[in-house]
Amino acid sequence: MTKDIKIKINGVEHRASVEPRLLLVHFLREVAGLTGTHIGCETSLCGACTVMLEGRAVKSCTVLAVQADGASVTTVEGLAQSGALHPVQEGFWEEHGLQCGYCTPGMIMAAADLLEHSPAAAAGATPGDLEIREGLGGNICRCTGYQNIVAAVRSAARKMNRRKKAVAA
Amino acid sequence: MAIRSRKTGKPAPRQMAPQGTLARAPKKAAERGIAAAQKSRTNGRPEPWVGRRYLRKEDPRLIQGISHYADDLRLPGMLHCVFVRSPHAYARIAGIHTGAARSSPGVVAVYTASDTKALGVVPCAGALPDLKIPRHPVLAEGHVRHVGEPVAAVIAEDLYQARDAAEKVQVEYDPLPAVVDPEKALAGTNFVHASVKSNQAFTHQLKNGDVDAAFSRADRVVKARFVNQRLAPVSMETRGVVAQYLPGEKTLTVWSSTQIPHLLKTQVALILGVPETHVRVVTPEVGGGFGSKLNVYREEAVVPFAAMQLGRPVKWSESRRENIAATIHGRDQINYVELALKKNGTILGMRARVISDLGAYHQLLTPIIPTLTALLISGCYKIGALQCDVVGVFTNKMATDAYRGAGRPEATYIIERMVDLAARELNLDPAEIRRRNFPKPREYPFATITGITYDSGNYENAMKKALELAGYSRLRARQKDAWKRGKYYGVGLSTYVEICAMGPSTAMPAGGWESGTVRVEPTGKITVLTGASPHGQGQETTFAQIVADIFGLTPDDVNIVHGDTAAVPYGIGTFGSRATAVGGTAMYIAAQKVKAKMAAIAAHLLGEKAAAMNFSAGRVGTKKKSLGFGEVVGAAYVARNLPPGVEPGLEATHFFEPSNFTFPFGTHVVSCEVDAETGHIRIDKYVAVDDCGNVINPLLVEGQIHGGIVQGVSQALFEEVIYNEDGQLVTGTLMDYSMPKAAQVPEFILERTCTPSPVNPMGVKGVGEAGTIASTPAVVNAVCDALRPLGITHIDMPLKPEKVWRAIQQARAAAAS
Ligand code: FES
Ligand code: FES
């Protein structure tokens, strides 16, 4: 038994007939061919598969593709806008927030969500280190020891605030 | 097209483009902002690139999700493999029924030992005199000996179908009582391998000096038993293998998430009986290894076997559950240790017994790891006499093998805990007892009691710097104050030395050298082929920095190629903090050879002496007369006007054999608070002063230290692989195996001292494992120091709140009675 679904991924609509048990992460990787979203556990414990579903971060190994029918998804491949890296991507590069890079797409998506929705960020302030560390509590990195990931998110937050202010001015 | 800097709106200065090289391809718009950031970090100066915080060349593909790990590979007609694994620790296989699985939708084949028994076995490189190496088949034969041992392989059109079918494979097991406790196993008669008739896999003794005399002369003897618990490496990318066989060309290509592509190529050829000339191993992007991918695994033989049988590509991606059950584990030792001491703290002698739980089968380096513990057990101290006895024990568990530090964290834990216990016994400050036993800087090269020679060092200097940075006396004052108020605050030190740059071939099981090839292409760009196989360390950047300096170009002009045995001359791989010190040196020397040739050609064209040729900012020559780098390259390839006896082309390969290991060192200082009511530990301050010799890129060195420290702290506080008394793996998922999260670890303050190594021309030592080796004892020392008023001398890791709380309760009860 399969079900016809359509999911808009990074602005492009993908239609397929899928088994109801197909995980969203497998839809992204196998059906849409977007392998930037990684699998680290398939049990919702590592965050490697984090994507934006309707603008909020979800672990795509914990969502069925059929649940995302009609929805829009952003993956790490769709984060850069009109050829420019997202500030969080820049932050990870500039602050050496990655080593093997395997956790990185999920970390970046979780961090982007954090900066979009954290109370501090909403108030135009930079979230504190503890808020960043706790906000990334669903994502595991084995390489970096997190210090530079925190620095990356902090730097992205500052950059985003500066830009917001520049737009407002 | 004008590129505008985001920050200033002014045209962004491009990264230094030396004249004489061809214009580089324009960067993708998305990457330009960073190029500007890179520029500001380099102050716009060209060489030297070495020593700068140069941003990584690897990152653009990784932060955009457009690189390819093994699971990202897709080949036409590719099938998927799923393994059926043992749920038992120890059982006889009474029968395997594959009929239902074979007729399941999409299934192409099911393999068991009856298909693979003619293949070779999984290799072990250990060569100890009395080492027992039981047969390690690629699929279980007759018995299963640990949870997760592969029994059958199901191959199907898609992953879901393969998983469905794997559930339908019926294996009849007769469970046997499991061998779990290594100490009991040594005395017991229930054998993991009936053919060996003992659970003792090997013994190894390291003895030097008159140990008995040292102990009889001692004013005090300090004794302890430590458990260094079993850990799972848990690289975030699990293992993965893709194999493709082309029957016409008879070529087998294996993509594997490995740290040792060349060694794997040789072993795959041997196991499968395929000529090595027709096997190619490629490492795609590798998502971390930490030693766990420094191995040859059963799946790396079974997947190519299936691809050859079926004539179609086959992929296997390890699940996290498989990763924790069937990828090697680390540590797992029990240590009995005694130190013979003079009243002034001088260490006269040391006795140690290392019981190493090897698991059921030897992986590549399983028996070698605990022998490294013996080699480093004297740490950074002068010790008069030593006896260290190592015994390896078979149990019904997954094999232990190299995990970040590989035998050296265990040694450092032993000696650094012992020195703290000695300081306490003798009422000396832990820093002072260390200082008294350090070799002096003039004593290098320093011959240790374990029979190795430390290349260079200044331990006291690093310790002094760390104590200053941590505000040691203030921390001690704070501790006194806390104790007065009934609070528990402690300070822990670890002054470590470690063994890096593995190593001279005489000390290694399968070659300690490395290869490097440097080729200046006709367009003036440089290709480097390295036998090292980085998987997160960033050598695409650091190696490019090194080569750019040699030729007076930029790191963007240099491309580092690794992990493809069809492109790269034979090499050993990346582990044991060897890539830069051994692989980097091979490349460095190869580059010097090419440079000498270019200098000869340039001198010939300019009518100057070769020795006068200077390579800088894309030009070759003297201050007065010079040629563009590209002109000299052109002359080498067009080859119409070469100096007599000089061959055309610009390529050199060097196989570098180091004369010794290198020995980085440093001091880590931790202060922590223990909540006596909950047993919870809060790290207050973490200071690390490390000395890894000369540094190519401080940014990347710091990253290695951060990550290393967290792995070591996590051993001290959180992580533990637990098998219960039946040999069941009870920490088989990330729900049960405690990985450190961002909010659970502190911020680190890092500094360095710099004592170059004399072992290689760049003076580098290696830094991949330092953090892990140093941090574990520093944390445990701090916790035990905090609990001193309660009379607690030791708690075995991991120091989970419950365990700490119990120890406190017991100590209080004992004090009350
Ligand atoms: S793969 Fe989804 S959380 Fe780990
Ligand atoms: S960078 Fe390797 S797991 Fe995070």
User: What per-residue confidence (pLDDT) applies to B576?
Assistant: 85
From B160, B235, B706, residue closest to A144, measured CB to CB: B706
B363-404 pLDDT, tens digit each:
999 999 999 999 999 999 999 999 999 999 999 999 999 999
B669-709 pLDDT, tens digit each:
999 999 999 999 999 999 999 999 999 999 999 999 999 99
The shortest C-alpha distance from B397 to chain A (Å) reads: 22
Considering the domain architecture, whether residues A163 and A91 belong to the same structural domain is answered as yes
Residue A82 resides in a domain:
no
Closest B-chain CA to A159: B7
Q: Report d(CA A71, CA A34) in Å as an integer.
A: 17
Assign B23 a pLDDT band (cuts: 50, 70, 90): very low
Domain boundary among A43, A76, A109: A76
Number of the ligand 2 atom closest to the C-alpha atom of A100: 2
Q: Which residues of chain A have pLDDT under 70?
A: none
Considering the domain architecture, whether residues A64 and A94 belong to the same structural domain is answered as no
Do B227 and B722 touch, CB atoms closer than 8 A? no
- Is the Cβ pair A98, B709 closer than 8 Å? no
pLDDT at B8 over 50: no
Q: Report d(CA A75, CA A108) in Å as an integer.
A: 10
Question: Which-ligand-closest: CA of A50?
Answer: 1
Considering the domain architecture, whether residues A154 and A97 belong to the same structural domain is answered as yes
Closest B-chain CA to A140: B741
Residue B350 CA to ligand 1 centre (angstroms)? 47
CA Rg value for chain A: 16
User: What per-residue confidence (pLDDT) applies to A118?
Assistant: 86
Residue B320 CA to ligand 1 centre (angstroms)? 10
Does the domain at B505-656 match CATH 3.30.365.10? Answer given as yes
Q: Which chain B residues are within 8 Å of A108, Cβ to Cβ?
A: 63
Q: Which chain B residues are within 8 Å of A147, Cβ to Cβ?
A: 706, 747-748
Considering the domain architecture, whether residues A158 and A106 belong to the same structural domain is answered as yes
Number of the ligand 1 atom closest to the C-alpha atom of A61: 2
- Please enumerate in sequence order all residues whose Cβ is within 8 A of that of B154, keeping only pairs 6 or more positions apart, or say none: B81, B82, B83, B84, B101, B107, B109, B110, B162, B165, B166, B169
- Find the CATH number of the domain harbouring A39: 3.10.20.30
Same CATH topology for B79-178+234-326 and B456-497+661-817: the answer is no
Q: Which chain A residues are within 8 Å of B704, Cβ to Cβ?
A: 99
- Please enumerate in sequence order all residues whose Cβ is within 8 A of that of B481, keeping only pairs 6 or more positions apart, or say none: none
In whole angstroms, what separates CA B688 from the centre of its chain?
A: 19
Residue A141 resides in a domain:
yes
| CATH number belonging to domain B456-497+661-817 | 3.30.365.10
Q: Report d(CA A128, CA B795) in Å as an integer.
A: 34
From B320, B706, B733, residue closest to A145, measured CB to CB: B706
- Is the Cβ pair A21, B160 closer than 8 Å? yes
Residue A81 resides in a domain:
no
Q: Which chain A residues are within 8 Å of B702, Cβ to Cβ?
A: 96, 148
Phi-psi region of A45 (alpha: psi -120 to 50; beta: other; left: phi over 0): alpha
Closest B-chain CA to A141: B236
Assign B503 a pLDDT band (cuts: 50, 70, 90): confident
Q: What percent of chain B has pLDDT over 90?
A: 89
Number of domains in chain A: 2
B104-128 pLDDT, tens digit each:
999 999 999 999 999 999 999 998 9
Q: Report d(CA B670, CA B685) in Å as an integer.
A: 6
User: What per-residue confidence (pLDDT) applies to B509?
Assistant: 79
Q: How far is CA A119 from CA A125, A132, A133, A135, B194, in A?
A: 9, 11, 14, 11, 63
Do B496 and B776 touch, CB atoms closer than 8 A? no
Nearest CA to ligand 2 atom 3: A141
Residue B117 CA to ligand 1 centre (angstroms)? 36
Residue A144 CA to ligand 2 centre (angstroms)? 6
What's the predicted TM-score (pTM) here?
Answer: 0.94
Considering the domain architecture, whether residues A97 and A151 belong to the same structural domain is answered as yes
The mean predicted confidence, pLDDT, of chain B is 93
User: What per-residue confidence (pLDDT) applies to A119?
Assistant: 86
Assign B546 a pLDDT band (cuts: 50, 70, 90): very high
Question: Which-ligand-closest: CA of A44?
Answer: 1
- Please enumerate in sequence order all residues whose Cβ is within 8 A of that of B50, keeping only pairs 6 or more positions apart, or say none: B545, B546, B549, B696, B697
- Is the Cβ pair A96, B702 closer than 8 Å? yes
Assign B9 a pLDDT band (cuts: 50, 70, 90): very low
Q: Report d(CA B519, CA B539) in Å as an integer.
A: 17
The shortest C-alpha distance from B344 to chain A (Å) reads: 39
Q: Report d(CA B320, CA B735) in Å as an integer.
A: 11
Q: Which chain B residues are within 8 Å of A19, Cβ to Cβ?
A: 160
Mean pLDDT of B739-751: 97
Domain parsing of chain B, residue ranges: 14-67, 79-178+234-326, 456-497+661-817, 505-656
Q: Directed axis angle between helix B459-470 and helix B472-484, to 10°? A: 50
Considering the domain architecture, whether residues A59 and A98 belong to the same structural domain is answered as no
Kindly report the backbone phi and psi dihedral angles of residue B617, in degrees, each rounded to the nearest multiple of 5, phi listed first: 45, 40
User: What per-residue confidence (pLDDT) applies to B300?
Assistant: 98
User: What per-residue confidence (pLDDT) applies to A153?
Assistant: 97
Q: What percent of chain B has pLDDT over 70?
A: 94
User: What per-residue confidence (pLDDT) applies to A134?
Assistant: 96
Assign B149 a pLDDT band (cuts: 50, 70, 90): very high
Q: Report d(CA B598, CA B741) in Å as an integer.
A: 51
Print the domain residue range for A31: 3-76
B412-422 pLDDT, tens digit each:
999 999 999 99
Q: How far is CA A20 from CA A1, A50, B60, B164, in A?
A: 8, 20, 35, 15
From B59, B286, B707, residue closest to A145, measured CB to CB: B707
3-state secondary structure of B233: coil
Assign B285 a pLDDT band (cuts: 50, 70, 90): very high
Interface contact B65, partner A, CB < 8 A: yes
For residue B102, the 8-state DSSP code is H
Mean pLDDT of B466-485: 98
Closest CA to B758 of B525, B456, B539, B471: B456
Number of the ligand 2 atom closest to the C-alpha atom of A143: 2
- Find the CATH number of the domain harbouring A129: 1.10.150.120
Assign B505 a pLDDT band (cuts: 50, 70, 90): confident
User: What per-residue confidence (pLDDT) applies to B20?
Assistant: 31
- Is the Cβ pair B33, A98 closer than 8 Å? no
B353's tokens = 């017994």
Chain B 319-338, residues with CB within 8 Å of chain A CB atoms: 319-320
Residue A126 resides in a domain:
yes
Domain boundary among A26, A47, A76: A76
Assign B43 a pLDDT band (cuts: 50, 70, 90): low
User: What per-residue confidence (pLDDT) applies to B28?
Assistant: 60
Number of the ligand 2 atom closest to the C-alpha atom of A98: 1
Kindly report the backbone phi and psi dihedral angles of residue B188, in degrees, each rounded to the nearest multiple of 5, phi listed first: -75, 175
Q: Which chain A residues are within 8 Å of B699, Cβ to Cβ?
A: 96
- Is the Cβ pair A93, B65 closer than 8 Å? no
User: What per-residue confidence (pLDDT) applies to B25?
Assistant: 38
Residue A39 resides in a domain:
yes
User: Can you tell me the ipTM of this complex?
Assistant: 0.98
Candidates A38, A141, A146, A148: which one to mutate for ligand 2, based on the most atoms within 8 Å of Cβ? A141
For residue B533, the 8-state DSSP code is -
Least confident of B26-40, B367-381, B493-507: B26-40
- Is the Cβ pair B707, A45 closer than 8 Å? no
From A22, A96, A108, residue closest to B703, measured CB to CB: A96
Does the domain at B79-178+234-326 match CATH 3.90.1170.50? Answer given as yes
Residue B288 CA to ligand 2 centre (angstroms)? 7
Q: Which residues line ligand 1 (CB under 6 A)?
A: A 39-42, 44-49, 59, 61
- Is the Cβ pair A145, B748 closer than 8 Å? yes
Candidates A27, A49, A139: which one to mutate for ligand 1, based on the most atoms within 8 Å of Cβ? A49
Question: Which-ligand-closest: CA of A48?
Answer: 1
User: What per-residue confidence (pLDDT) applies to B262?
Assistant: 96
Q: Report d(CA A23, CA B705) in Å as an integer.
A: 37
Extract the runs of DSSP E, i.e. beta strands, from B498-585: 514-520, 526-530, 558-562
B580-631 pLDDT, tens digit each:
989 999 999 999 999 999 999 999 999 999 999 999 999 999 999 999 999 9
Nearest CA to ligand 1 atom 3: A44
In whole angstroms, what separates CA A146 from the centre of its chain?
A: 17
The shortest C-alpha distance from B653 to chain A (Å) reads: 28
Considering the domain architecture, whether residues A116 and A152 belong to the same structural domain is answered as yes
**Of residues B573 and B450, more confidently modeled:** B450
Chain B 683-742, residues with CB within 8 Å of chain A CB atoms: 699-700, 702-704, 706-711, 733-735, 739, 741-742
Q: Which chain A residues are within 8 Å of B285, Cβ to Cβ?
A: 100-101
User: What per-residue confidence (pLDDT) applies to B35?
Assistant: 65
Exposure string over B620-655, b if 16+ CB within 10 A, otherwise e: bbeeeebbbbbbbbbbbeeeeebeeeeeeebbbbbb
Domain boundary among A41, A76, A111: A76
pLDDT at B141 over 50: yes
The shortest C-alpha distance from A70 to chain B (Å) reads: 24
* Interface-testing mutation among A147, A154, A159, A160, with chain B (most B C-beta atoms within 10 A): A147
Kindly report the backbone phi and psi dihedral angles of residue B672, in degrees, each rounded to the nearest multiple of 5, phi listed first: -150, 160
